[in-house]
Structure 1
């Protein structure tokens, strides 16, 4: 074999220095940066991660096909081959989905659900094995599992959109439309799902105290969120794996939000790129934010912030309520079926392998983010008055009361209860409007919105209903209809309670006595 050289600005590197490949088909292409020392690189220095940009070998379809088991699972995505063996137990959709594509070109199945960037951001660098020789992969008919990826058009079995009269109606359609994996992912909550149930229960404990004989002929639901106008005091929450609901996923949400002048929070790991979603704005005044799980690598975290700034988002929602992954048993049961009885319990390994979550995140890291950007910062996932006060002291622009829809820690108190806790122990945050406060957690009715606003919230977040409203083939029109339903209920109930604007919704309109019995009294600030 002749010597082959890679010429770099600082050195030239030959195969003989690293050893010849054992087989001709394993000849690799080296891509590297300048050697910092300016001298010829040794093999050891060359392979250090700080200087290494990638080793790419060409892998044939036959080689790829050899690795299609749980013990050795390779798949090709966008021309690159990945070893996902160590990720099988952690895959949110279960091992079965990965094994179904094992040893094959999985690009079609992958992009039907995920953002193209996600695989490189999630898997470790060593999982990338090389480039696949696409000419050696047999052309196979793609399976049409349309129900699992939400691409089917509305059919006669799904009700006409006009017959959907409340937000919960969308959930009933979604349960029939979604694949078992999609339904489990969207609907699941942690362990016994007590927190998810409490989110709804606490709203039922709050009673309205309507005022009468008030002129309510002209009612407006408009408000400002982080200084930007919104037609309604609610926004679209960040949600993952939106392509289970519809192929256009976040594009539907972006377009509908712009048409209705509703603010949207883009998730950290959307089904498509951040730039695609921001370019889908349908209005020049449209407001979008970005949810941020702060990466353990500060350079990567900073890179995401710069991308967000360039894309024109108006604020960052730093998610802090999931330092580790909660135990969602609907998900786990489906995964167990696909893994089989011999599969090990991922346990702590599952937590450690997650690149999205950052168990080391501290308040000081938020100070660092504050120094790195001029964008408004919101801390998402506050669950106690103590942390609400800390958020104010650390200069955050808003606090977002949330228990992650009950998906993280079971029996964590409902966000509306945290709002009552703030009213009791740190009322100055609300009375003096020192900081904006957002609330989510099973908000399904206009009356739920009114209760939050009257008790001091600036706005509320809508999560699962945004996903459910896209199913059944409804897409963007479904999202618009869901927004219209909630806005209509808000208008009607503002009139019934005697308020013509958001500012006229006051605490005296809400009877909180039953719920206040559950407010924690041992707070020390």
Structure 2
């Protein structure tokens, strides 16, 4: 068990406090920060406070099953690792350690296109529960090259971020002149494509400057046909917040969607992910699986998202806290703790299987709505 100076690390917030002591201040701002005044960042967390649980009793909960299957692959937990960049900023082993930690608990790991370890090394450290995350680059050969490598290495799905035609104005990064330094790099992409990420300029974010140069802001729904023609893997669209876009995702052949506002890092003032989840679930009407990220900090948060119709919950910042605090063991501990919290909450709610979770588990606080 990972320990801090004050005792055992038992919760995600414990990992967060320990990681804060170990991570450089500008890197911490890069991880923790959101867009502009960070209203959406805060809303993602506070949205869970508006719902209450309705526990059922006298139900056999001697066995609680948290297993879930997506695209024919099984996972021992519905709590996975969402795509975040440059894990070597907080641990020398980077995504290799994250893969080991996720595999130890049978969790999905969505590997960022900006991973700081090679796709092949990450796959070698994993039990195979890997998806590859992509942005839409102007140079499409960058995307096709990554797709080929992911297929060859055994990744089983693609996750395309669709809410970032340009990067949000992240004031913390701009004030810090944040850039990727030292020997950390997005090693799976040609260095020339990533050059701007290493250029520090106070008042600017190197991440945003690179995106403005490299991301294709002209992409439309029609372009998904090209991506589909490039791969046999399922394609999941990350960044869906409305019923309208959820319906278009189904219409254009997406295999899944992730309800996400990019952790509050894109459009400040955008709806909290949890608030958007019910309308997206209703719009897809079971045609494709709906995944979720945004503000989950404990197992009861995951239960709420699953009860609202998510098939899987992805964590963004928390696995980085675990990685910083204890490497692979920290990632494993963070995911195991959150899954144990979920199983505990399922038992106390009288819902021993994920299939038992639905909106009847929830009640809005007075004046609110599901």
Aligned counterpart for 2:292 among listed residues 439, 458, 468: 439
Matches within 5 A, 1:272-421: 272-281=117-126, 283=127, 286-335=128-177, 351=209, 354-421=212-279
Q: Is the 8 A contact 1:167 1:465 kept in 2?
A: yes
Structure 1: gaps (5+ residues): 1-153, 337-342, 520-525
| Residue 335 of structure 2: aligned partner | 483
Give 1 or 2 for the bigger CA radius of gyration. Answer: 1
Number of the residue aligned with 1:159: 5
Structure 1 residues 153-204: Cα deviation after superposition (integer angstroms, max 9, x where no partner): x9x9x438x7111111111111111111211111111111100110011111
What is the CA distance between 1:308 and its match in structure 2? 1.3
CA deviations 1:465-524 (Å, max 9, x no partner) are 10011224x11111111111111111110011001110011211111365855x8xxxxx
Q: How does 1:136-147 map to 2 (within 5 A)?
A: none
CA distance in 2, matches of 1:252, 1:371: 33
Q: C-alpha deviations, 1:247-295, integer Å up to 9, x for none?
A: 00101111112221111101001111111111222x3xx3100001121
2:122 is equivalent to residue 267 of structure 1: no
Counterpart contact for 2:12–2:298, Cα < 8 Å: yes
User: How far did 1:444 drift?
Assistant: 0.8
Whether the 8 Å contact between 1:416 and 1:452 is mirrored in structure 2 is yes
Deviation per residue, 1:191-223 (Å, 9 max, x gap): 111001100111110111111111111111111
The equivalent residue for 2:24 is 179
| C-alpha deviation, 1:354, in angstroms | 3.6
Q: d(CA) in 2 for partners of 1:165 and 1:416? A: 25
- Call closer, same or farther: CA 1:419–1:514 in 2, change over 3 Å: farther
Question: Using the alignment, how far apart are the partners of 1:183 and 1:379 within structure 2?
Answer: 27
Q: Is the 8 A contact 2:157 2:234 kept in 1?
A: yes
Is the Cα–Cα contact under 8 Å of residues 295 and 355 in structure 1 kept in the other structure?
no
CA distance in 1, matches of 2:348, 2:205: 51
CA distance in 2, matches of 1:349, 1:315: 25
Which residue is 1:466 aligned to?
A: 319
Contact 1:420 1:516 in 2 (8 A): no
- With over 3 angstroms needed to count, the CA separation of the structure-2 counterparts of 1:351 and 1:164, relative to structure 1, is same
CA–CA separation in structure 2 for the residues paired with 1:464 and 1:319: 17
Instruction: Please say if residues 170 and 468 of structure 1, whose CA atoms lie closer than 8 Å, have aligned partners that are also in contact.
Output: yes
Total equivalences in the alignment: 347
Question: Residue 346 of structure 1: CA displacement?
Answer: 5.4
**More contact order relative to length (CA 8 Å, sep ≥ 6):** 2
Tell me how far apart the structure 2 counterparts of residues 216 and 353 of structure 1 sit (CA, whole Å): 49
| Residue 344 (structure 1) shift | 8.2
Cα displacement (A) at 1:301: 1.9
Against the structure 1 CA distance between its residues 361 and 169, is the aligned structure 2 distance closer, same or farther, given a 3 Å change threshold?
same
Runs of 4+ in 1 over 2 A off after TM superposition: 343-358, 420-423, 427-430, 512-517
* Length-normalised TM-score, structure 2: 0.88
| Alpha-carbon distance between aligned partners in 1 of 2:28 and 2:318, rounded to the nearest angstrom | 13
Q: Which secondary structure state, in structure 2, belongs to the residue aligned with residue 461 of structure 1? A: strand
Task: Pick one of 321, 338, 350 that aligns with 1:498.
Answer: 350
Deviation at 1:345? Answer: 5.6
Contact 1:398 1:437 in 2 (8 A): yes
Question: 2: CA distance between counterparts of 1:350 and 1:166?
Answer: 33
2:75·2:108 contact (CA, 8 Å) conserved in 1? yes
Quote the residue 1:219 is aligned against: 64
**CA distance 1:315–1:329, shift in 2 (3 Å):** same
Structure 1 residue 313 displacement after superposition: 0.5
CA distance in 2, matches of 1:398, 1:356: 25
Change (3 A) 1:449 1:320: same
Aligned pairs for 1:16-55 (under 5 A) are none
SS of aligned partner of 1:491: helix
> What is the DSSP-based 3-state SS (H/G/I as helix, E as strand, rest coil) of the residue aligned with 1:443?
coil
Unpaired segments ≥5 residues, structure 2: 179-200
**Alpha carbons of 1:354 and 1:277: their partners in 2 closer, same or farther (altered >3 Å)?**
farther
Q: Is the 8 A contact 1:392 1:435 kept in 2?
A: yes
CA distance in 1, matches of 2:238, 2:283: 20
After superposition, the C-alpha distances for 1:425-472 in whole angstroms (9 at most, x for unaligned) are xx2634xx2110011101011111111111111011011110011224
Separation of aligned partners in 2, 1:439 and 1:395: 19
1:297-324 Cα offsets, whole Å, 9 max, x none, are 2222222211111111000000111110
| Cα offset, 1:398, TM superposition | 0.4
Aligned CA distance change for structure 1 residues 369 and 266 (closer, same or farther; 3 Å): same
